[in-house]
Structure 1
Amino acid sequence: MELHLYEQIYLYIIQEIKEGRLKAGDRLSSEKELAEQFGVSRITSKKALEKLADSGVIIRIQGKGSFVADHLTAGQGPKSITPPLVADDEKRLLGFITPNFSDEFGLKLLRSMEKQSAEHHYQLIIKRTFGDREEEIRAIQLFISLGVKGLLMTPIHGEHYNSELLRLVFDQFPIVLVDRYLKGIPVCSVYTDNKKASMDLTLHLIHKGHKKIAFLSPPEENTSTLEERLLGYTLAFTQEGMKLNKDYLITNLRGTLPENMDGEAKEKDKETLRVFLEQHPNVKAFVVSEFLIATMLANVIHSMGKSLEEFEIVCFDSMDDYLGQTPFTHIEQDEKQMGEAAVNMLVSQILGTSVPERTIVDHRMIVKK
């Protein structure tokens, strides 16, 4: 069986001790020095040193470095690396932190990640934060305390990044963001090309003859998914040489956010949509960033005594009706591939292999019959 990179470093140091080149009390090379010597990441060299410490081969002293344990002399290194590897296998955990998941998006993704984790012989544990920043911080701290080897994460909506998440990124802890990325932060991310997908939806309406097209969304608030969808909508108008009416942008809908899924927030959103429809009776086409907002819009239209046949609504994600038909033309994200790619890249990081910073998963547009 081929050895992992950290195992090779582990064995190298064991051999150095056995052959007397490293003696009791000698200081080992630092994580950075070992990473440069073996051409690996600091995550890999750090893991090798951690395994040596777990085996009692070395002693790690914060701020000073790693030293060969006093009880070891030439020819008395550990007989094998089996003990640390067995201990490692006993706690093969990956964590997934997400605001929420539902049938229209997230459930297939979760199933895919669970299956792919099992393929790599890891157990996936899950924590929902329901859009609460403090709960997200506590979830990260909990998973780290449980000894997860890496984190899959969909950060919550918000104007500021989670400080605990940033600390993990800068410490080079294995982490993959799913369904979004952090601008300016070098962290592995897997997501749909939301800009292209939103352009596809908007161009679909334009090519059907619509010129007055509204855009509905929760606040972008530094959330890459929503920012890209708004950008794609605006770029479609630019591409077609059409003027964009900013009065048609409604980006303050909060009733579908995990932290606001109560009656009051939804009723406020419905009133916002009702007022818009009354003030802009000639707007008959809508690009909607989320399926739940699309269904809310349809309900408002119906409650106002208007016929849904007069309107065309396109959105991201969907659920079929009781006849197995989709109610809206929509973007279908490949949740299965997204989940598989995210887990594969997380495991690669754990094993010390470099991964691309961003991976875009293909989507397709499903046109309502």
Structure 2
Amino acid sequence: MQETLYEKIYNRLIYDIRTSKLKPGDRVPSEKELADEYKVSRITTKKAMEMLAQSGYIERIRGKGSYVTNVDAGRDHMPQSERPKDTIGDIEARSKVIGLLLPDLSDSFGLRLFRAIEQQCAKMNCQLLIKLTGNKQDVEETAIRDWIKFGVDGLIVLPACGAHYNGELVRLVLDGFPIVLLNQSFKGIAACTIGTDHKHAAYDLTDYLFDKGYLDIAFITTSIENNSTYEAQFQGYTNAIVQRGQVVHPAYVVEDQLILGDFIDQHPNVKAFVVSEYQLGINLQQELQRRRNDWAECEVVCFNSPQEQGVAPIFTSIQQNEEQLGVEAVHLLNAQWNHETYELHNHVNYKLIYK
């Protein structure tokens, strides 16, 4: 399985740190130096450096550079051929290996989750493998097959969206392999899940818009089919409308982004929008600014608008508790390993952040 470019850079630097080629206090090559060395863009090296900082391997100091923190060097990231031969005691004490599959890492969602999982793995002496799937099921399936052959002990997965459930994931769940699904569930299949209560969260967002005086409220998403997160958000949206004594208009639900502009033109009365994702909210805002003279009177609310200290958020949004999500996901895997009792469907807290 081929690594992405930033995964390659990330893993190379971890190897240098863990083998003491880069020692605590040493300066790490800059984003530009890495970009020149690997002949990649600064965006690629920036993501690798952000992952290292989130994992606690480096500290980034504005105007000075990035430096290795006091991380114990070890053999865990050394190539197999360079590791000393295991003794029987080593084999018995070998730590668990967790595979983490995410569609992407971003400030809006993913980076804090990854950091929390990585830190919890370190506390529990677990090793962590990570693969970003780009929300592609074939990439996800290939990674799962490769990791199972490698011998991972459990998986934490935010499944890629598709017309059907991932066959590899479903098979492993039915076989009883330790898996925790993030923010998703499979209908009719008893899989361990943990995530935000998206139904209640979408209800809160819709209710907020009603409180501001909006009556015609649209729901903007990608395909709801086979996506339990978006299904739950849609249920919360409709529940809030019904609770207010209003009618749910099917025409106000947009799942095809190609018709988003036409929807805006054809429904000038709709000035409030509940949006399933932050980037989708950005796209909608841009369309409103292009097509509506009254765009400033419109309001978009969404999930996972990035939060920067001292900077007002772009949208009122639901902020998921990624730290709790990551920690609890590892705990649920541990419960499965130890044959402990655990709940199949688990929720973490969220916050409604006002712009």
- The alignment's C-alpha RMSD in Å is 1.8
The 5 A counterparts of 1:110-129 are 110-129=114-133
Q: Is the Cα–Cα contact under 8 Å of residues 91 and 148 in structure 1 kept in the other structure? A: no
In structure 1, what is the equivalent of residue 74 of structure 2?
none
The 5 A counterparts of 1:82-93 are 86-90=90-94, 92-93=96-97
Q: Is the Cα–Cα contact under 8 Å of residues 332 and 342 in structure 2 kept in the other structure? A: yes
State the identity %.
Answer: 39
In structure 1, what is the equivalent of residue 330 of structure 2?
343
Write the distance in 1 (CA, Å) between the matches of 2:298 and 2:309. 21
Aligned length: 270
SS in 1 for 2:218: strand
SS in 2 for 1:314: strand
Q: Is the Cα–Cα contact under 8 Å of residues 264 and 291 in structure 2 kept in the other structure? A: no
Larger Rg: 1
Instruction: Answer yes or no: is 1:105 the counterpart of 2:109.
Output: yes
The 5 A counterparts of 1:262-273 are 269=258, 272-273=259-260
> Residues 341 and 84 (structure 1 numbering): CA distance in 2 closer, same or farther, change over 3 Å?
farther
Q: CA deviation at 1:364?
A: 1.4
Q: Is the Cα–Cα contact under 8 Å of residues 194 and 345 in structure 2 kept in the other structure? A: yes
In structure 1, what is the equivalent of residue 142 of structure 2?
138
Q: Is the Cα–Cα contact under 8 Å of residues 152 and 342 in structure 1 kept in the other structure? A: yes
SS in 1 for 2:245: coil
Instruction: Answer yes or no: is 1:242 the counterpart of 2:246.
Output: yes
Q: CA deviation at 1:159?
A: 2.8
Write the distance in 1 (CA, Å) between the matches of 2:345 and 2:202. 19
Q: Is the Cα–Cα contact under 8 Å of residues 136 and 161 in structure 2 kept in the other structure? A: no
Deviation track 1:264-290 (CA, whole Å, cap 9, x = no partner) reads xxxxx4xx2221111111111111111
The one-letter amino acid paired with 1:103 is D
Unmatched 5+ stretches in structure 2: 1-85
Q: CA deviation at 1:308?
A: 3.8
Q: Is the Cα–Cα contact under 8 Å of residues 180 and 225 in structure 1 kept in the other structure? A: yes
Write the distance in 2 (CA, Å) between the matches of 1:306 and 1:322. 32
In structure 2, what is the equivalent of residue 180 of structure 1?
184
Q: CA deviation at 1:118?
A: 0.8
Q: CA deviation at 1:86?
A: 2.7
TM-score, with normalisation over the residues of structure 2? 0.72
Write the distance in 1 (CA, Å) between the matches of 2:305 and 2:283. 13
| Equivalent of residue 306 in structure 1, options 293, 312, 334 | 293
In structure 2, what is the equivalent of residue 202 of structure 1?
206
In structure 2, what is the equivalent of residue 286 of structure 1?
273
Write the distance in 2 (CA, Å) between the matches of 1:273 and 1:87. 56
| Equivalent of residue 276 in structure 1, options 250, 253, 263 | 263
The 5 A counterparts of 1:1-369 are 86-90=90-94, 92-253=96-257, 269=258, 272-304=259-291, 306-320=293-307, 324-368=311-355
> Residues 333 and 174 (structure 1 numbering): CA distance in 2 closer, same or farther, change over 3 Å?
same
Write the distance in 1 (CA, Å) between the matches of 2:92 and 2:124. 14
Q: Which structure would you say has the larger RCO, counting Cα contacts within 8 Å and 6 or more residues apart?
A: 1
Write the distance in 1 (CA, Å) between the matches of 2:140 and 2:92. 26
Unmatched 5+ stretches in structure 1: 1-81, 254-268
Write the distance in 1 (CA, Å) between the matches of 2:135 and 2:280. 17
TM-score, with normalisation over the residues of structure 1? 0.70
Write the distance in 2 (CA, Å) between the matches of 1:193 and 1:89. 38
Deviation track 1:227-251 (CA, whole Å, cap 9, x = no partner) reads 1001110111111111111111101
Q: Is the Cα–Cα contact under 8 Å of residues 316 and 330 in structure 1 kept in the other structure? A: yes
> Residues 199 and 129 (structure 1 numbering): CA distance in 2 closer, same or farther, change over 3 Å?
same
Write the distance in 2 (CA, Å) between the matches of 1:333 and 1:288. 15
SS in 1 for 2:341: coil
Write the distance in 1 (CA, Å) between the matches of 2:265 and 2:284. 13
Write the distance in 2 (CA, Å) between the matches of 1:298 and 1:339. 31
